[in-house]
Amino acid sequence: MKNEEKRVVLLVDDAPANIQVVNSILKDDYRIRIATSGAKALDLANSSPAPDLILLDVMMPEMDGYEVCTRLKAAPHTRDIPVIFLTGKIEAEDETRGFQVGAVDYIHKPFSPPVVKARVETHLMLREAREQLARQLFALNSELEMARQIQLSILPREAPKVDGLEICARYVPMSSVAGDFYDFIVLDPQHVGILVADVSGHGLPAALIASMLQVALTTQHGHASQPGKVLSGLNQALCGKFQSNFVTAAYTFVDLENRVIHYAGAGHPPMLLWSRSSSKTQEVCENGLVLGQFPEATYDSAKVEVGAGDRCVLYTDGVVEAQNPSSEEFGIDRLKEFLEDNSNLAGNRFVEQLLEKLGRWSELETGESHSDDITLLVASFDRTA
């Protein structure tokens, strides 16, 4: 191996005899750089080429090995360099202190050539393994970010603009990619279909199935006014494509011309419909089997009249199954209560307040994710209609 290809070991010791011994053990396999003081060691550690490993004497004048190691671990450019202490001390408290300041190992004096070689090689191999894992993790995170961008691109950029109906949607994945999905089929200004779906599991497999849903929904335009047929079509498109996952879904067709909605579900939580006239909330549930597992499954729909000022809420189970620290679920009753208590809020504000309430319920810290994906869609009928 050419000298410039050898890994660099920084040897730090104020005793010439120790330097001579260690250098003679390692010089054939490594490029050895030598420092006889803590200050010089810090200079060499920050120079190029950076050392791959540092052998550091504990007892040195002015700045001992503990202080040198502490400074190395505090600096971004040197904190990942493994440090092995060279010492004649064998007391447990001395070794404990060394590990506390960031050393990875000890080599005791007098030096044994096989031990010196083995420990240096072991920690260089461990460092290379850590760096390889870090590269792989970076590549994986980059791929996940790309997958996240692709998944976001298949979701609607904005809710459709429909006269007499305000639609607000929020998608909150628990990780970079998720299995929740929602989309719309707009037939004309008075007729719109709304799909909310939840793929079992999380991560990339669920996200891939969610992307299949987006493609499958585009083929349901011809019978968008018939929720049962839409879910049957989605089921046929998904069956046979995967084994361990399934999809729950709710499809609502809003007919503003006749002031009715048609609803069908596939193993999905019920739609909630708040009535302005009664100030009460009803559960609309017309469920069939989950999608993707039963080719012969059929789906019926429920028809519900709506009035001016009414509001319907579609959601995935991440909303009602959100848990507090005592493992108590938020539940559908609390969701209904929130809907009734906040009926005066505009759609966007309603959604924001509900998500904030869920965060408080789960006692999430800033930046912390929910334990499940959350999709929330609110359709509010114009009060002046």
Least reliable range by pLDDT among 18-32, 189-203, 319-333: 189-203
Report how far Cα 152 is from the mean position of its chain's Cα atoms.
14
Q: Residue type for 314, please?
A: L
29 pLDDT above the threshold of 80: yes
Residue 210 contacts residue 199 (beta carbons within 8 Å): yes
Angstrom distance (rounded) from CA 176 to CA 294: 30
Distances (CA, A) of 340 to 152, 280, 336, 380: 31, 7, 6, 13
d(CA 246, CA 239): 9
Look up residue 88 and give its two tokens: 């004649």
Q: What burial class does residue 179 get, using C-beta atoms within 10 Å of its C-beta: 0-12 exposed, 13-18 middle, 19+ buried?
A: buried
Distance CA 236, CA 69 (A): 64
**Closest listed residue to residue 319, CA positions, set 273, 361, 381:** 361
For range 21-31, the mean pLDDT: 95
Residue carrying structure tokens 């005066």:
344
Query: Cβ neighbours of residue 157 under 8 Å, at least 6 residues apart?
Result: none
85, burial (CB in 10 Å: exposed 0-12, middle 13-18, buried 19+): buried
If one compares 295 and 157, the residue with the highest pLDDT of the two is: 295
- Give phi and psi for 130, each to the nearest 5: -65, -40
pLDDT at 176 over 70: no
What is the 8-class DSSP label of residue 7? P
The pLDDT score that the predictor gives to residue 157 is 84
pLDDT of residue 385: 47
More confident residue, 324 or 154: 324
At 201, the pLDDT band (50, 70, 90 cuts) reads confident
DSSP 120-178: HHHHHHHHHHHHHHHHHHHHHHHHHHHHHHHHHHHS-SS---BTTEEEEEEEE-SSSS-
At 146, is the pLDDT very low, low, confident or very high (cuts 50, 70, 90)? confident
Q: Are 303 and 262 in contact (CB under 8 A)?
A: yes
Look at residue 264 and tell me whether its pLDDT is greater than 60: yes
| pLDDT above 60: residue 384 | no
| Residue-level pLDDT at 2 | 66
pLDDT at 366: 62
pLDDT at res. 20: 95
Contacts of 117 (CB under 8 A, 6+ apart): 25, 26, 29
The DSSP-derived string for 12-70 is: E-S-HHHHHHHHHHHTTTSEEEEESSHHHHHHHHTSSSPPSEEEEES--SSS-HHHHHH
| Structure-model confidence comparison of residues 75 and 384, the more confident one | 75
CB 69 within 8 A of CB 27: no
Asked if 94 and 64 count as a contact pair (C-beta separation under 8 A), the reply is no
Instruction: Return left, alpha or beta for 240; rule: phi > 0 is left, psi -120 to 50 is alpha, else beta.
Output: left
Q: Evaluate the CA torsion angle 69, 73, 77, 83 in order and state its sign.
A: positive
pLDDT above 80: residue 92:
yes
pLDDT band at 309 (very low <50, low <70, confident <90, very high): very high
Tokens of 155: 């979701």
- Domains belonging to the chain, first-starting first, are 3-135 (3.40.50.2300), 156-381 (3.60.40.10)
Q: Which of 268, 273, 267, 237 is nearest to 254 (CA)?
A: 273
Percent of the chain, pLDDT > 90?
73
- Half-sphere exposure of residue 340: CA atoms within 13 angstroms, side-chain side: 13
